[in-house]
Chain A
Amino acid sequence: MGVYKWDDKQIEVDEDGFIQEPDQWSEELAKALAKSEEEIADLTPEHWKVVNYLRNYYKQFGVAPMIRKLCKETGFELKYIYQLFPSGPAKGACKIAGLPKPTGCV
């Protein structure tokens, strides 16, 4: 367990830097996480399209979406999502979107 600090705020994160309370996510936090965790200087509209889809899906279903569905719904190929989020959809994009880290055989 640890604490992630940005601007003058802080939030509890797990060992891998995923926030523990998805409700405490904010756009400012996403921007800060993108910079410090994924070396993304600015979140473009394409980044936000992925982040917003992940958040909306999570709000509805309580889990991250299938990667196949994420690609279909955003219209982005998986390769392009890796370009946007170098650590990939589960570890990179989910972290910035404030979702818990997927567990199990993935």
Chain B
Amino acid sequence: MTSIIPAPDLLEDATAKLTCYPAKPKDLRQIALPLARVPNWQQKAIEKFAELLRKYKSLQVYMDICARCGACADKCQFFLGTGDPNNMPVARAELMRSVYRRYFTPEGRMFGAAVDAYDFDEAMLQKWYTYFYQCSECRRCSVFCPYGVDTAEITMAAREIMASIGVATKYVTEVVAKVYQLGNNLGIPPPAWIDNCQFLEEELKAQTGKDIRLPVDEQGAQVLLVAPSADNFANTNTMMAYGILFHALGVSWTTSTYCNEGGNFGLFLDFQNLKKVNQRIVDAARQLKVKQIIWGECGHAWRAGILTDTLNGPLDFLEVPHPVHICQYTAAMLKRGAFKLDKTANDDVRVTYHDPCNPARAGQLLEEPREILRASCNHFVEMRPDTIRERTYCCGAGGGLLTDEIMPIRMAGGKPRAEACRATGANVMATPCAICKAQLPEVMKHWKVDCEISGVHDLLVKAMVL
């Protein structure tokens, strides 16, 4: 099967000038990174590289094992969309491998460029900064690698090395800094969070006639919900859907103003921040003495979330199983017959499901969202098999790319998803990820596909008889 959009002609350096804004000292200070590029940055970077090779045997294997067969080359939405050869996963990884050869292999040390081994100089650093921030760490390429090279791990390692010498993007560092200051990516202070919840409770009352609560900081609740803060700002239908869900089940739940964010931009930056951001979730759960943590509709939150026991465990104060994603939770409740549903409420909807990259390829979440949609809608259609489930295309702005200065990359990367959607004739695309929900409306508008973007639970509660 040929890919949903044909492999493009090569366009050397097509996106070489499309870079993210650099990080600001005010944000770097908050997240324990150097405030500017460190003076002996080359040496420091190679030392960090050596440390990562020692720490992660997988990285060492990925550096050594690639046969440059090119099976991954046309599998990346950013290469398909831009034609820039450095966006072929093999070539992107080669930016790191060429440095690896130069400093960590005998032949590279001796013969340099003759064996494709290159110095980590200013030009190389600029290429790293450009192209490792044109990768959404979505792992689609890895699915097709005959050796099982996880190219996203390579991107993560490259970003970790850059972060250690004070090179990072404004978008990612600003968001992580906001989490430490205010508890969430959007920087919503506690009084505004409470105001938002009260406002949505009024909206729920107007819509349903019922007193449906969006509780905040309630000690002893059964469930702590960690959703993306964007749900309590932009994706308000999803936020209200959580309220309806727990109301229908009669389960006590709460959000936390200390940690009202599931999203973890540390994942896009470095290990220390990944761990520290995720720790906040566990701390909030202990503070509020809840029995369960449920992750909301957020892709990378879940990718980090499934690591919680390893990163921040043990989670022995929680009920098993843990961690739990809201789609798993709801699908289990559906099986128990916990909801009364009238699917005809969604008869105006021809819905398709977009697998966000992280739940699909790093979170074992393939069936549950589909079970929820099939239970809620009469008209559910799948996109082409090579564009869904573990072979899903990234929406184009995951991995810390959801920033406007690289809009051409975002739109190019979103094209395969837009075309696969167009072919279904769906008028709604449901997806459980706030990044996808922010990116895909722009993508659909750009590629002129007439399809609305929705949360999964938005459609469930539309069909729910309360």
Determine if A62 is an interface residue (Cβ-Cβ < 8 Å): yes
User: In the docked arrangement, what's the CA distance between A89 and B199, Å?
Assistant: 19
Instruction: Give the contacting residue for B263; candidates A15, A72, A104; CB below 8 A.
Output: A104
Contact assessment for B405 and A106 in the assembled complex, using a CB-CB cutoff below 8 Å:
no
Pick from A4-12, A21-29, A43-51, A63-71 the stretch touching chain B.
A63-71
Which residue on B lies nearest to A89, using beta carbons? Answer: B234
Contact assessment for A105 and B402 in the assembled complex, using a CB-CB cutoff below 8 Å:
yes
Q: Please tell me the size bucket of the interface on B.
A: 35 or more
Known contacts: A16-B404, A66-B233, A67-B234. The answer to whether A104 contacts B192 by CB under 8 A is no
Q: Which residues of B contact A103 (CB under 8 A)?
A: 171, 174-175, 178, 185-187
Q: Which residues of A contact B199 (CB under 8 A)?
A: 66, 68-69, 72
Tell me, rounded to whole Å, the shortest Cβ–Cβ distance linking A70 to chain B. 11
Known contacts: A104-B263, A106-B230. The answer to whether A69 contacts B196 by CB under 8 A is yes
Q: Which residues of A contact B196 (CB under 8 A)?
A: 66, 69
Instruction: Give the contacting residue for B192; candidates A62, A68, A72, A91; CB below 8 A.
Output: A62
Tell me, rounded to whole Å, the shortest Cβ–Cβ distance linking A102 to chain B. 6
Q: Please tell me the size bucket of the interface on A.
A: 10 to 19
Tell me, rounded to whole Å, the shortest Cβ–Cβ distance linking A18 to chain B. 11
Contact assessment for B438 and A106 in the assembled complex, using a CB-CB cutoff below 8 Å:
yes
User: In the docked arrangement, what's the CA distance between A68 and B197, Å?
Assistant: 12
Contact assessment for A105 and B174 in the assembled complex, using a CB-CB cutoff below 8 Å:
no
Contact assessment for A61 and B189 in the assembled complex, using a CB-CB cutoff below 8 Å:
yes
Q: Which of A69, A103, A104: most chain B CB closer than 10 A?
A: A104
Q: Which residues of B contact A15 (CB under 8 A)?
A: 21, 170, 405
| Binary flags per residue of A70-106, CB closer than 8 Å to B gives 1, else 0 | 0010000000000000000001000000000011111
Q: Which residues of A contact B435 (CB under 8 A)?
A: 105
Known contacts: A15-B21, A66-B233. The answer to whether A105 contacts B404 by CB under 8 A is no
Q: Which residues of B contact A106 (CB under 8 A)?
A: 186, 230, 233-234, 434, 438
Tell me, rounded to whole Å, the shortest Cβ–Cβ distance linking A11 to chain B. 18
Which residue on B lies nearest to A73, using beta carbons? Answer: B199
Q: Which residues of A contact B185 (CB under 8 A)?
A: 103-105
Contact assessment for A66 and B178 in the assembled complex, using a CB-CB cutoff below 8 Å:
no
Enumerate B364-413 residues with CB–CB distance to A below 8 Å: 402, 404-405
Determine if B330 is an interface residue (Cβ-Cβ < 8 Å): no
User: In the docked arrangement, what's the CA distance between A62 and B195, Å?
Assistant: 12
Q: Which residues of A contact B298 (CB under 8 A)?
A: 105
Known contacts: A61-B189, A62-B189. The answer to whether A104 contacts B175 by CB under 8 A is yes
Contact assessment for B405 and A104 in the assembled complex, using a CB-CB cutoff below 8 Å:
no
Determine if B191 is an interface residue (Cβ-Cβ < 8 Å): yes
Tell me, rounded to whole Å, the shortest Cβ–Cβ distance linking B65 to chain A. 34
Q: Which residues of A contact B170 (CB under 8 A)?
A: 15
Which residue on A lies nearest to B263, using beta carbons? Answer: A105
Known contacts: A15-B21, A16-B404, A66-B196. The answer to whether A105 contacts B189 by CB under 8 A is no
User: In the docked arrangement, what's the CA distance between A68 and B188, Å?
Assistant: 15
Determine if B455 is an interface residue (Cβ-Cβ < 8 Å): no
Determine if B229 is an interface residue (Cβ-Cβ < 8 Å): yes
User: In the docked arrangement, what's the CA distance between A62 and B185, Å?
Assistant: 14
Q: Which residues of B contact A91 (CB under 8 A)?
A: 404
Contact assessment for B184 and A104 in the assembled complex, using a CB-CB cutoff below 8 Å:
yes
User: In the docked arrangement, what's the CA distance between A105 and B228, Å?
Assistant: 8
Determine if B309 is an interface residue (Cβ-Cβ < 8 Å): no
Contact assessment for A63 and B203 in the assembled complex, using a CB-CB cutoff below 8 Å:
no
Instruction: Give the contacting residue for B229; candidates A16, A62, A68, A104; CB below 8 A.
Output: A104
Q: Which residues of A contact B200 (CB under 8 A)?
A: 68
User: In the docked arrangement, what's the CA distance between A15 and B191, Å?
Assistant: 29
Contact assessment for B438 and A63 in the assembled complex, using a CB-CB cutoff below 8 Å:
no
Instruction: Give the contacting residue for A63; candidates B188, B228, B404; CB below 8 A.
Output: B188
Tell me, rounded to whole Å, the shortest Cβ–Cβ distance linking A38 to chain B. 15
Q: Which residues of A contact B233 (CB under 8 A)?
A: 66-67, 102, 106
User: In the docked arrangement, what's the CA distance between A78 and B437, Å?
Assistant: 17
User: In the docked arrangement, what's the CA distance between A16 and B175, Å?
Assistant: 16
Tell me, rounded to whole Å, the shortest Cβ–Cβ distance linking B68 to chain A. 35
Given A62-B192, A68-B203, A104-B230, 10 more pairs with CB closer than 8 A: A61-B191, A63-B186, A63-B188, A72-B199, A103-B178, A103-B187, A105-B229, A105-B230, A105-B298, A105-B438
> Which residues of chain A have a CB within 8 Å of any CB of chain B?
15-16, 61-63, 66-69, 72, 91, 102-106
Can you sample 7 A-B contacts with CB below 8 Å?
A: A69-B199, A102-B233, A104-B186, A104-B230, A105-B185, A105-B229, A105-B263
Give the top 3 A-B pairs by smallest Cβ distance, nearest first.
A104-B185, A105-B434, A61-B192
